[in-house]
Chain A
Amino acid sequence: MNETISVRGLSKSYGEKRVISSLTLDLPLGAVTALMGPSGCGKTTLAFLLAGLIPPDAGEISGVPEKKAFVFQEDRLAEEFSALSNVRFVLPGRDRKRAAELLARLGLGEELSRPVREFSGGMKRRVALARALAYDADILFLDEPFKGLDEKSREETVRCTLELTKGKTVIFITHDREEAEALGGGVIDLGALLAREQER
């Protein structure tokens, strides 16, 4: 059985703009890997490629677990529905208990029935994260999951995330080195890596 996700010669362009060029790397399974780098360096594109949301122009990806969860940069919540409905939406059997439990752990226990359109940016972020954590995926893509959270809820959310993703593959995207290191896994500076690949 594979121990890593293998990326070989991966390239992706949007029109004329080449975002990822001949990227080769291995990502450990069952561990946290932070993809770090400045905005626009291709972190989100790589996560989308790994999750199979977009096809690569060239190269191969193998070893990605089937059951995936994703915290997207734009939350992607059904605004008219409650926080609870949004989390239950992705759960097998619309498991109410698990959805409520996860929302409560992320500090939204009192807001279960409120439509998410009434939520602040930070609250929406926590709903999106609760949805991903509740799903019990084998691999989680977390694209800046703590963006917009205040200091107190950020600490709590990081702790909860670490606890609930123990033993799972987590691809954590951030441009903040401190945040990348806080999760305690490997850190890949994608910006630097892609720059090196381009120089070759």
Chain B
Amino acid sequence: MVTDLDVLLVSPVRVVGRLFTLWREADFFSTLFSSFSRIVLGFFAAFLLSGLLALLACRFPVLEILLRPYVVTVRAVPVASFIIIGLIWLTTGSLAVFISFLMVFPILYQNALQGLKSADPKLLEMARLYRVPRLRRLHMLYLPAVKPYLLSACSVALGMSWKAGVAAEVIGMVDGSIGEKLYYAKIYLDTCDLFAWTVVLVLASVIFEKAFLFLLKKLFAGSEKL
């Protein structure tokens, strides 16, 4: 029998109080770092691979056609299905990396490709006439075209990587992760812990998103000065 109404909806005061005790617990930072490193690794892997494949698909349109069914499938299939497949294929440690990668890859790839395709054809024609090396074209013609697409895609993908990554940790019961803490909060009906860890998650996700977008914008601004 439920004897404490906090199980249904915990008061914000209690959550804040729990947050103050939570961060002082011995495993708080190791738990946070464990989830952070997996999710960020998945995101960065997707970021790099989507950029590379978008470049290749822009150069060789046949690759875009070959990749299209995979991208559409990954976008359409529910994340839970991938998590269960991942549980069979992978170790629990790498599950969050895989899921975080899989969920953000299509978003980043499609936006990067669209951005590359939006590069001004007249400027590209000018660059071909002047025989400008490909790397320089990439820097001055393609990067500015990709910039708005990539910034907006990253903004969506960063949040999604955290949601999907933690969902994988919960289902996979990954040792020493935020997902595991959420799982135990469910088992012990500890709504206060659930809310406190959710706040930690949201904060980590927002801080990482802001920091990453800030660095990305700086990178673009720096490249424009070269």
Which residues of chain B are within 8 angstroms of A131 by Cβ–Cβ distance?
Answer: 130
Which residues of chain A are within 8 angstroms of B144 by Cβ–Cβ distance?
Answer: 78, 80-81
Which residues of chain B are within 8 angstroms of A76 by Cβ–Cβ distance?
Answer: 122-123, 125-126
Question: Out of A69, A72, A89, which one reaches B140, CB within 8 Å?
Answer: A89
Which residues of chain B are within 8 angstroms of A89 by Cβ–Cβ distance?
Answer: 127, 130, 132, 136, 140
Residue of B whose beta carbon sits closest to that of A54? B125
Q: List 5 A-B contacts (CB under 8 A).
A: A51-B129, A53-B129, A78-B144, A81-B144, A90-B127
Binding site for A on B (CB under 8 A): 122-123, 125-127, 129-130, 132, 136, 140-141, 144, 224-226
Residue of B whose beta carbon sits closest to that of A141? B129
The answer on a CB contact under 8 Å between A74 and B130 is no
Which residues of chain B are within 8 angstroms of A72 by Cβ–Cβ distance?
Answer: 122, 126
Alpha-carbon distance A174/B79, docked complex (angstroms): 62
Alpha-carbon distance A94/B129, docked complex (angstroms): 16
The answer on a CB contact under 8 Å between B125 and A53 is yes
Residue of A whose beta carbon sits closest to that of B144? A80
Which residues of chain A are within 8 angstroms of B123 by Cβ–Cβ distance?
Answer: 76, 78
Tell me the smallest distance from the CB of A93 to a CB of chain B, in Å: 10
Cβ-based interface call for A146 (8 A): no
Which residues of chain A are within 8 angstroms of B225 by Cβ–Cβ distance?
Answer: 82
Interface residues of A in 21-78 (CB under 8 A from B): 51, 53, 68-70, 72, 74, 76, 78
Interface residues of A in 80-122 (CB under 8 A from B): 80-82, 85, 89-90, 94, 115
Residue of B whose beta carbon sits closest to that of A67? B131
The answer on a CB contact under 8 Å between B126 and A70 is yes
Q: Can you add 4 more A-B contacts, CB < 8 Å, to A74-B122, A85-B224, A89-B130?
A: A53-B125, A76-B123, A80-B224, A89-B127
Tell me the smallest distance from the CB of A115 to a CB of chain B, in Å: 8
Main secondary structure of the interface of B (DSSP, over half): helix
Q: Which of B129, B141, B226 has the most CB of A within 10 A?
A: B129
Binding site for B on A (CB under 8 A): 51, 53, 68-70, 72, 74, 76, 78, 80-82, 85, 89-90, 94, 115, 131, 135
Alpha-carbon distance A135/B127, docked complex (angstroms): 12
Known: A80-B144, A81-B140, A94-B136. A135 touches B130 (CB 8 A): yes
Question: Out of A68, A78, A82, A115, which one reaches B129, CB within 8 Å?
Answer: A68
Alpha-carbon distance A70/B123, docked complex (angstroms): 12
Tell me the smallest distance from the CB of A173 to a CB of chain B, in Å: 15
Which residues of chain B are within 8 angstroms of A135 by Cβ–Cβ distance?
Answer: 130
Alpha-carbon distance A112/B38, docked complex (angstroms): 45
The answer on a CB contact under 8 Å between B129 and A81 is no
Tell me the smallest distance from the CB of A72 to a CB of chain B, in Å: 7
Which residues of chain B are within 8 angstroms of A94 by Cβ–Cβ distance?
Answer: 136
The answer on a CB contact under 8 Å between B140 and A85 is yes
The 9 lowest CB-CB distance pairs between A and B, nearest first, are A90-B130, A76-B126, A80-B144, A78-B140, A80-B224, A76-B122, A89-B140, A70-B129, A76-B123
Tell me the smallest distance from the CB of B33 to a CB of chain A, in Å: 38
Alpha-carbon distance A81/B130, docked complex (angstroms): 18
Tell me the smallest distance from the CB of B135 to a CB of chain A, in Å: 11
Residue of A whose beta carbon sits closest to that of B139? A89
Question: Out of A51, A81, A90, which one reaches B224, CB within 8 Å?
Answer: A81
Which residues of chain A are within 8 angstroms of B224 by Cβ–Cβ distance?
Answer: 80-81, 85, 115
Alpha-carbon distance A123/B10, docked complex (angstroms): 64
Residue of B whose beta carbon sits closest to that of A128? B126
Which residues of chain B are within 8 angstroms of A78 by Cβ–Cβ distance?
Answer: 123, 140-141, 144
